[in-house]
Chain A
Amino acid sequence: MVAERKGAFGIGGAILFVLAGLGIALALYRFATGLGSVTNLNQGYPWGLWIGFDILAGIALAAGGFVVGGLMHMFGGEKYEPLVRPTILTALLGYLLFIVALLVDLGRPWTIWHMIIMWHHESPMFEVGWCVMLYTTILLVEFLPVVFERFHMTRLHKLWKYSAPWIAIALLTLFAVALTQSVAWVIVIAAVLILFQLSVEVGAIYRDPKIPTLLLMAAIIFSTLHQSSLGTLFLMVPHKLHVIWYSPLLPVFFLVSAVATGLAMTIFESILSARFFGRKVETDLLRGVGRFLSWAIICYLGLRGVDLIVRGVGSELLVRTPQCAAFWVEIVVGSLIPLAILLTPELVKSATWLFSASVMVVVGLIVNRLNVAWVGISSRYEVAYYPHWMEIAITVGLVSAGVLVFVLVCRYFPIFSEERSPTGAR
């Protein structure tokens, strides 16, 4: 056997290339002929696999960018610093991938810019669109230092440090203008942000030497808003969404499960990329992330349990319907088993068990989002919806392309901690 360089594409890479190529070809075919030729979507079921998996699940899977890079950092988790760059990269690629997937799903994707100038702030979709647009910009700004380091652009890096917080303030204020259309709110929001940044400038608040704090705050604010608003989308359909999932707390569930999944993805991806690139697994750090993950799962289970009891849905959970079965898969695989693993001290010591737990959380999240977007939706329309094989192939192709790009970027840019020179500007 030929000695393979670590991080090189083997047979797996070839398969990914083929899948990505097939997906892209089918997507082009879809643009030429319309959605009807590649999907089973119909007049009663306008949303299907793409909304459930590519968009709802995809965005939650990319939540690591704000959970690790944001929350942990804000609340004193400096030791998790080595995980920040990989998660920001995953998030950035995840959101770019999501935007591509959205373009495939939209009927008239070349008009997507309408959302920028045709404001309708009452619509949850408008809010999600704006948040994603602005948060992707924030992620790009967060990622720029990697590029600066790679090409030794010290002056630009310095400029970035001073301008990034003001970019964050501008984006947050713009968002407030579009979503509230209230002068009072805009002034309050802008005032709080500017006051914070001015305090940093005059030295009343400590200036983080690595990353402007406001950038992280913007990431957290935008993420909190759109992760939850993806749930708000479905508050509009009390008549179509199954009672197990239709809860006024749906936005909160979406947010908390996204936080949990962001953590799980961080573990998943660290272990996987460590193996792939032949680095040492950061077991201690990941065990810490696992502790946060177990808390997130406990919060989620508690909230969902109380919600189901208060709404009196208990009896719906023990009937033999596909919806009920899908609910239990989501809870048992996505929450109960991983929680049991994470709370067993003997098991969390092993990277394999940590990995399994995080994979299960991710699978549970995907099942949950598919349940909300597809399994739990009933439109009283004669024709049911099941994904067409081409819908699945396009989704698989997009994910494959995402993985390939991730590997390429990791190989050519300083993403992982030991590859960064200790003297380099940070």
Chain B
Amino acid sequence: MAVHALLIDTVRCTGCRGCQVACKQWNKRAAEKTEFFGGPGYQNPADLSKDTWCLVTYNEVQIGDRFEWVFGKKQCMHCQIPGCASACPVGALEKLDSGPVIYHKDKCIGCRYCMLACPFVVPRFEYDSWNPYITKCTMCYDRLQMGEIPACAKACPTGSVTFGERDALIREAKERIASNPSEYHHHIYGLEEAGGTCVLHISNVPFEELGYITDVPKQPLAARTELAMKSIPAVMVGLAVVLGASYRLRTRAQLRGEDAERPSPTT
């Protein structure tokens, strides 16, 4: 099955926030009361939230002797092997073969382990509700099912957000970097991060300048817990055998004593 993905090219982004608005409209997220200059520079709102699943970040970056705006895009990275989905005890977060990581709200118990596990600090929790859910970007899974592309990609007027097959987008990203090597920073963010993600970023500046978390492990997070989880049955059998055998050996004397007291009817 084709794995869907998004390619974000910050070089082409003009910071119009069309994607941000389209995301809010399609997913029916409420408007937020924000403050101008509440975040870095003209960025608004300051952070992802339960109502903002897609956020254009504004970063003033020194390039040569000038300062320039470089725009980043914050949203769920849709990891190939997502930490959030591995962490969830009830399977409320699910990775689809077609790419998106989706959320089954009726399963969620609200333990927030997904938030801890996410290396990109993306899932948002409704702390102000008595009946809270986790919220995050779904790659417009409902639109994909209807044969539409995600709202952010649809809205983008400059081709900064491209929707397509992951392999094809990786080729495209490599080509853009190769054809303009002095313009682009030579790294595809999301190619290897957390074992690979379905949202890929390329930029003209190093990603730490955009506030991206750059020391994300290269393997999937589930690789770290796999050994501990897989050894459970072996531990069970091992303990049962060792405890049983040691008990048997230790109580040999009592067993003989018991037999002597009341001999079994067969002898």
A binds B: yes
Residues of A within 8 A of B (CB): 31-37, 39, 41-44, 46-47, 74-76, 105-109, 111-112, 114-115, 118-127, 129, 172, 175-176, 179-180, 182, 185, 188-189, 192-193, 196, 199, 203, 205-208, 213, 217, 220-221, 224-225, 228-229, 232-233, 235-240, 248, 251, 377, 379-382
Closest to A250 in B: B228
B65 within 8 A of A: no
- Whether A125 and B111, one on each chain, are in contact in the complex, defined by CB atoms closer than 8 angstroms, is yes
Q: A74-B243, A224-B239 known; A229 and B228 CB under 8 Å?
A: yes
Residues of A within 8 A of B63 (CB): none
Is there contact, CB below 8 Å, between A114 and B217? Answer: no
Which residues on the B side are within 8 Å of A172 (C-beta)?
Answer: 236, 240
Instruction: Give B230's nearest chain A residue, CB to CB.
Output: A180
Q: Are A189 and B236 interface neighbours, CB within 8 A? A: yes
List 3 tightest A-B contacts by C-beta distance, closest first: A107-B110, A36-B127, A206-B251
**Across-interface contacts of A185 in B (CB, < 8 A):** 233, 237
A106: B residues at CB distance < 8 A: 109-111
When A43-B125, A180-B233, A192-B241 are in contact, do A108 and B250 touch as well, CB less than 8 Å?
Answer: no
Pairwise interchain contact B247-A74, C-beta atoms closer than 8 A: yes
- Please judge, given known A-B contacts A43-B48, A111-B108, A381-B121, whether A123 and B87 are in contact too, CB under 8 Å: yes
Residues from chain B with a CB closer than 8 A to the CB of A46 are: 112-113, 115-116, 125
> B70-93 interface mask toward A, CB cutoff 8 Å, 1 = contact, 0 = none?
000000000000010011111110
A43 to B55, CA, bound (A): 15
Question: Nearest-CB distance from B164 to chain A (Å)?
Answer: 28
Task: Please give the number of chain B residues whose Cβ is less than 8 angstroms from any Cβ of chain A in the complex.
Answer: 65
- The answer to whether B124 and A43 have CB atoms under 8 Å apart is yes
Contact of B107 among A44, A118, A221 (CB under 8 A): A118
Do the beta carbons of B233 and A206 come within 8 Å of each other? no
| Contact indicator B116/A115 (Cβ below 8 Å) | no
- Contact A217 B244, CB 8 Å, known A76-B250, A111-B108, A112-B109: yes
- The 8 A CB mask of B231-266 against A (1 = contact, 0 = none) is 011011101110110111011101100110000100
Q: With a CB–CB cut-off of 8 A, which chain B residues contact A124? A: 87, 225, 228-229
Complex contacts, A114 vs chain B, CB 8 Å = 90, 107, 109
Bound Cα distance from A121 to B225, whole angstroms? 12
Contact B112 A193 (CB under 8 A): no
Segment at the A interface, from B25-33, B129-137, B178-186, B196-204: B129-137
Q: A109–B116 contact, CB under 8 A?
A: no
Q: Is B210 an interface residue (CB 8 A)?
A: no
Q: A118-B90, A179-B233, A205-B248 are in contact. Are A47 and B130 (CB under 8 A)?
A: no
User: Which listed residue (A119, A189, A208) contacts B240, Cβ 8 A?
Assistant: A189
B128 at the interface (CB under 8 A from A): yes
Write out the residue numbers on chain B whose beta carbons fall within 8 Å of the beta carbon of A238. 217, 221, 224
Query: How many angstroms from the CA of A164 to the CA of B175 in the assembled complex?
Result: 68
In the complex, chain B residues whose CB is within 8 Å of the CB of A180: 232-233
The answer on a CB contact under 8 Å between B129 and A34 is yes
- In the assembly, what is the distance between CA of A189 and CA of B86, in Å? 25
List the A residue with the shortest CB-CB distance to B234: A185
B83 closest partner in A (C-beta): A236
Does B35 touch A at the CB level, under 8 Å?
Answer: no
Q: Specify which chain B residues have a CB less than 8 angstroms from the CB of A118 in the assembled complex.
A: 90-92, 107
Quick check: A32 and B258 within 8 Å, CB to CB? no
Collect the chain A residues with CB atoms within 8 Å of residue B251's CB: 205-206, 208
A69 to chain B, nearest CB (A): 13
Q: Shortest CB–CB separation between residue A388 and chain B, in angstroms?
A: 12
CB-CB under 8 A from B244, the residues of chain A are 192, 196, 205, 217
Complexed CA–CA distance, A129 and B108 (Å)? 14
Q: A123 and B86: CB pair below 8 A?
A: yes
> Which residues of B lie under 8 Å from residue A119 when comparing CB positions?
91
- Which of A115, A188, A248 is in CB contact (< 8 Å) with B89? A115
Residues of B within 8 A of A193 (CB): 240
Given contacts A189-B233, A192-B237, contact A232 B228 (CB under 8 A): yes
Q: A108-B110, A115-B90, A232-B228 are in contact. Are A35 and B127 (CB under 8 A)?
A: yes
The answer to whether A189 and B237 touch across the interface, beta carbons within 8 angstroms, is: yes
Q: How far, in Å, is B217 (CB) from chain A's closest CB?
A: 5
A210 to chain B, nearest CB (A): 12
Smallest CB–CB gap between A93 and chain B, Å? 23
Contact A120 B91 (CB under 8 A): yes
Knowing A228-B228, A239-B217, say if A126 contacts B116 (CB, 8 Å). Answer: no
A-B contact pairs, 17 of them (CB 8 A): A36-B127, A46-B115, A76-B250, A107-B108, A107-B109, A108-B133, A111-B109, A115-B89, A126-B90, A176-B236, A188-B237, A199-B248, A206-B252, A217-B239, A233-B113, A236-B113, A236-B225
List, in ascending order, chain A residues with CB within 8 A of B48's CB: 43
Which residue, B83, B124, B132, B247, has most C-beta atoms of chain A within 10 A? B247
User: Which residues does chain B contribute within 8 Å of A112, judged by CB atoms?
Assistant: 109
Contact, CB under 8 Å: B232 / A127:
yes
Question: Are A221 and B125 CB-contacts (below 8 A) given A107-B109, A129-B89, A236-B86?
Answer: no
User: Once the chains are docked, how many angstroms separate the CA of A225 from the CA of B221?
Assistant: 21
